[in-house]
Chain A
């Protein structure tokens, strides 16, 4: 018995070694391949949370679709929100290949067990927020997502290739909104500045805790869920975004922000991590509103889903009868 156990353990170890070597060699892992339980669980967590973020991410923008200032803005915003629904669906089906059901993922979102990106727990107060979200939030998301096109789990990587291809218009439409406001009246420019003031710091928080506080980095690097650390990605975002703010003539709300000639990067001020953890723990301004909107949509849509199933069953019964007579 003891020998048997020892053999099993050794076998598991060698399978894990083969698995890790495959990833190190840039080979992909596909759903039916053997994988360590921890790999499966980590991927279910990350991919489902990513999917939830896309779905919840529709809500702050959905808030402005009916109030978009022109038809051009309205069709663009509609298309962007529709893309986000699509991205959520790609990711949910990628996640289902790991053996979790769609229903279980929804349950985890609705019960608060699964997280989604904290940025969506902030309110969208003015039209300028649509510009700031596209420019900053989608900008940060792109930096986070591009490296995932090469991640080790095949279905996730393929979904991300599609997502990244579609996402580049999102950031551009946001920046164009900011640009238009900044070339407008003083009131419009003030509105753009106010949106930047409110979205800047939460956008920096999207890259997650600092490296010395981040617990999963080493394992995630190995599995290619991460290619760069949180701090490196955050720095990259700041370096590329500050000049874009300059072009708009807006001021980034950070008194400590200045270009460091020695490092070639921007130095920046302290991030309020207490605020970050408060929002993660559910005490952001919109956490409750977002979850209840999702839950209501799901619960109130039940009769539609049931009716569709009933209709499908009736049609297939009719086919059976037709075949029989």
Chain B
């Protein structure tokens, strides 16, 4: 038998009130081991209060080569921002 441990992505919540953030990746045989390893590899100095692990193969990522059609359409839609709208200078609370 020669099977490699799969790759996992590790997300850590630094403290309550903050979101889980991607911290890095590691190899582990299963989810339980991935959690335990994540604790040892990424939170040795109280960096977190909660850990998520997800097998890397389950993440679908966008392709940077398609960034043009994906993200550029937002660039010419200035009307989505408050500064697009002209108001008199002396108006308050708006």
Contact = CB atoms under 8 A, between A and B. Distances in A.
Interface of A: 30, 32-34, 79, 82-83, 86, 89-90, 93-94, 96, 101-103, 158-159, 162, 166, 305-306, 308-312, 315-316
19 contacts: A30-B64, A32-B61, A32-B63, A32-B64, A34-B65, A82-B40, A83-B44, A90-B24, A96-B7, A103-B4, A162-B24, A306-B1, A306-B3, A308-B5, A309-B3, A309-B5, A312-B29, A312-B33, A315-B30
A92 B25 CA distance: 9
Nearest to B25: A93
Interface of B: 1, 3-5, 7, 24-27, 29-30, 33, 40-41, 44-45, 61, 63-65
B29 A305 contact: yes
Nearest to B9: A93
Given A159-B24, A305-B29, A308-B5, 13 more contacts: A32-B64, A33-B64, A82-B40, A86-B44, A89-B26, A90-B24, A93-B27, A94-B24, A103-B4, A166-B45, A306-B3, A309-B1, A309-B5
Contacts of B33: 308, 312
Contacts of B1: 306, 309-310
A166 B41 CA distance: 12
B24 A308 contact: no
B32 to A, nearest CB: 8
Contacts of A162: 24
Nearest to A96: B7
B21 to A, nearest CB: 11
Q: How would you classify the secondary structure of chain A's contact residues: helix, strand, loop or mixed?
A: helix
Contacts of B61: 32
Contacts of A166: 44-45
Contacts of A94: 24
B30 A308 contact: yes
A82 B65 contact: no
Nearest 7 A/B pairs, CB to CB: A312-B30, A308-B29, A93-B25, A312-B29, A309-B3, A306-B1, A33-B64
A86 B1 CA distance: 27
A199 B5 CA distance: 38
A305 B2 CA distance: 9
A194 B79 CA distance: 72
Contacts of A305: 5, 29
A161 B5 CA distance: 26
A103 B33 CA distance: 19
Contacts of A316: 30
Contacts of B7: 93, 96
Contacts of B45: 166
Contacts of B24: 90, 93-94, 158-159, 162
A32 B60 CA distance: 12
A305 to B, nearest CB: 7
Most A Cβ at <10 Å: residue of B25, B26, B29: B29
Contacts of B63: 32
Most A Cβ at <10 Å: residue of B27, B41, B44: B41
Nearest to B62: A32
A86 B4 contact: no
A315 B65 CA distance: 39
B22 to A, nearest CB: 9
A306 B4 CA distance: 9
A232 B58 CA distance: 46
Contacts of A32: 61, 63-64
B93 to A, nearest CB: 40
Nearest to B8: A93
A159 B24 CA distance: 8
A275 to B, nearest CB: 36
B86 to A, nearest CB: 34
A251 B33 CA distance: 49
A90 B24 CA distance: 7
